[in-house]
Amino acid sequence: MTIKITKQDALDYHALPHPGKIAIALSTPAETQRDLSLAYSPGVADPVLEIHKDPELAYQYTIKGNLVAVISNGTAILGLGNLGALASKPVMEGKCLLFKRFANIDSIDIEVTTEDVDEFVSTVANIACSFGGINLEDIKSPECFEIERRLIEACDIPVFHDDQHGTAIVTTAGVLNAVKIQHKKLDDAHIVCMGAGASAISCMRLLIQCGANPQNIAMIDSRGVIYEGRDNIGQYKQEFAIPTALRTLEDACKDADIFIGLSGQSGGFTPKMLASMAPNPSIFACSNPSPEMSPEDAHAVRKDLIIATGRSDYPNQVNNVLGFPFIFRGALDVHASCINEEMKLAAVHALKELARQPVGDDVLARCNEDRLTFGPEYIIPKPFDPRLLSTVAGAVARAATDSLVARRPCPDHYD
């Protein structure tokens, strides 16, 4: 299904009927003098004093427990680059829309006008107590790693850089299903990763946690394969330096089982490279809006492949909306202090298993599909599958409880 929109369509959507995509709504009555006395002075003093005595009561008397801040400095906006904090606002508002639509989480976008890591961390840490979680977005690498690490240390609420972990979680779930369908084993698979930024590094880390052999991963940056002994490799790329004679993307693709494109650059993965891969390869061409190779071009080269992209008009869309709303929903529901590795892995396996289940008629109708069955063209759930909320959020909430980062019991509806 191809969805065509024009520039004017996009501008009108953001401008009409009111500017922007989100608004603030009242959740309590405000119609009488008594209502106002309860909402503000003098009634508001009572919850203030209770929270002063016990900060945990902020979850009971304020919106904190269902409020996420979506924060960016605009240094890596989608595939558009460093366009500044204000230009990132439509994207951050869009993230807020997705939080509300898919997980009924209230969120507010905050754009921070600094590229200085210390200043950014200080700004966010100083406002963190207002929120139940922080979703970092569109912050360039390598600063994003340091920013997230320091905020996790400074805050007692979940801090999650979705460009890193959301992409990694959804991609890893798809890879696990693809290798199953292709009758391969992840620990034996040779993986080529085109890209060495935040999402690429996080994705490879997560695949290793799921069983991939680090020595079988060839990570490629703009200078070629990252290998032991190569000069000028930063600390995060160094983690993936392997002893190998491979030097180019073309070298790495020969006899590889899995190609993962997370470079943000369209093209670059050629028909010759695809043809040289091992039988039954899996291709994740995730660059948007133009993937490293289109499904049409890939299928013209060989028929034994599985291909996923970041686009909604092709099968197997790697879409972060399958992850972050439900990951935060599960974390918020147990008042988690962080989103740890156990919670991320729980989300991976929940997504993986959901794609293997029968798909209901309501999902088919929303996706304009006649049939969706686990196989080469359906390895990742669709965003409109209502089971995502209970399946992924429930898995995350249980993992938070089991790993002792939850501050309240897992809700009964997740049992």
Catalytic (active-site) positions: 40, 95
DSSP conformational letter for 410: P
Burial of 415 (0-12, 13-18, 19+ CB in 10 A): exposed
Q: Which residue has the tokens 């972060």?
A: 320
- Give the Cα separation of 60 and 41 in Å (integer): 19
| Alpha helices for 54-160 (secondary structure H) | 58-61, 89-103, 117-127, 143-154
**Cα 37 from chain centroid (whole Å):** 42
Q: Determine the length of the chain.
A: 415
DSSP state of 343: H
**Of residues 405, 415, 409, the one with CA closest to residue 159:** 405
Bridge partners, residue 138, by sequence: none
φ/ψ of residue 259, rounded to 5: -115, 130
Residue that is written with structure tokens 């024009």 in the block: 6
Sheet with 191-194: strands ordered across? 224-225, 217-221, 191-194, 258-261, 282-285, 306-309
CA distance 321 to 347: 12
